[in-house]
Structure 1
């Protein structure tokens, strides 16, 4: 059987690894027949190379690497492929395929909406302002893509939505909250476009409190069924030898 290797970014914050591990546990629960392994690009163990080395030693002929990343930036386009190339040199008998990142799939936007609703709000609440908060980049094209995600995020709601960034780009979350208040938002929620909590989500929360102490901070995506669906889809699309019996939730 071809293992699914889920690759997370890694963080110094232990909450991040715990939530990623919970997401991977949800994948295993959905597909108990599948060999699912978790590893990290940096700051946490095991590393990508450690996991793939073990897979090769166990005699597997192939592995599919699914990056648990929301954007196709340096880690997905440069860092991870370089790691996989080193593994291929050491283990030429092991076929290693990298799937696409999770990206801006509409189901993940739905997961973020669910997290806002789970914070106690209705999608029909036209008085609610939502700061759709992402990492931010020095690449303006990447930021433009994030802003388009923020617009898509708002489509199925009556919310007022402003996209903001934790780093490297404007507006920050404080500026987004001020804009939302200026346009009539009576309450504000920060909706993190993050898979797991960590230093950057804490930064967003602290900045929001400075501007509006009553701001609510929704949970990250975490082990949402949409994430499970998408990871299994990425795996199936990259592993032609995998039996096509994956059950996706409605």
Structure 2
């Protein structure tokens, strides 16, 4: 029996670095599981779109597809856009069994990746002191999604025994520049920013720009492609594949 196809569904960006990062991540997933058909699609701003990839998989004989959203929080895209993609696919293809797993989320195992990216940024900036942190993320109109970011920020700050503020690149304050200025107002002078984004794009670039303008000593690159993130993708897929197995009645 052919295993269900894995469709990694990313947000999408006009920045070509974003697609390159997502491609590197899904290539890593495919290398870990060479028995799987692994495809990538984007919700917006980039191609291919999910409908065309799903149609191609069906044309190639796949009647089971597990969609893994490459999202760090469960916000609008996960709650509205992805269900719409699935409903449209089922309407086009009678008999297609397709489901979406939970989003990647913010795993504790992602924090060491964040640390590694920040250490690289600190080395490049030749910054040797650190007395404050900002955790920058996309932000959402969903307060629960923003609360996830705030919890991750607290955990990250506690790990380093440093004061930390969460900042958001859209939808809700504070922006990264505001967060850096707030820490400076509290007497901190060596503030670094960790980028809790999966891939480069407009929002991470804008967050970095605002942070540096406000006096941050360094801003890390997004998480990017990492074996641990690939493992989480496959863990999500494994749960989804089991959920597709029919239950005898």
Both structures adopt the same fold (TM-score exceeding 0.5):
yes
Instruction: Please say if residues 127 and 160 of structure 1, whose CA atoms lie closer than 8 Å, have aligned partners that are also in contact.
Output: no
Which residue number in structure 2 is paired with residue 59 of structure 1?
Answer: 61
CA RMSD of aligned residues (A): 2.0
Given the two structures, how large is their TM-score scaled by the length of structure 1?
0.88
The answer on whether the counterparts of 2:86 and 2:98 sit within 8 Å (CA) in structure 1 is yes
**Structure 1 position 198, deviation (Å):** 0.7
* Equivalent of 2:212 in 201, 209, 212: 209
Which SS does the other structure have where 2:242 is aligned?
Answer: coil
Q: How many residues get paired?
A: 238
1:126–1:158: 8 Å Cα contact kept in structure 2? no
TM-aligned CA deviation for residue 225 of structure 1: 1.9
**1:70-117, Cα deviation, whole Å (9 max, x unpaired):** 111111111111111111111122210110001122122332223213
Q: Specify every segment of 5 or more residues in structure 1 that has no aligned partner in the other structure, as ranges.
A: 243-250
Could you list the runs of 5+ residues in structure 2 that have no partner in the other structure? 245-249
The answer to whether the 8 Å contact 2:73/2:148 transfers is no
2:193 aligned with 1:190, yes or no?
Answer: yes
Residues 193 and 42 (structure 1), Cα distance of their counterparts in 2 relative to 1, 3 Å cut: same
Cα distance in 2 for partners of 1:172, 1:120 equals 21
Quote the Cα distance in structure 1 between the aligned partners of 2:207 and 2:68: 27
SS of the residue aligned with 2:41?
Answer: strand
Q: Distance in 1 between matches of 2:91 and 2:220?
A: 43
C-alpha distance after superposition, 1:144-185 (max 9, x if no partner) = 232112112223223332111112222211121123334454
More helix by share: 2
Distance 2:88 2:130 in 1: 53
2:169 paired residue number = 166
Find the aligned partners of 2:189 and 2:90 in 1 and give their Cα distance.
55
The secondary structure found in structure 2 opposite 1:154 is helix
Per the TM alignment, residue 21 of structure 1 is displaced from its structure 2 partner at its CA by 1.0
Alignment partners' CA distance in 1, 2:76 and 2:167: 21
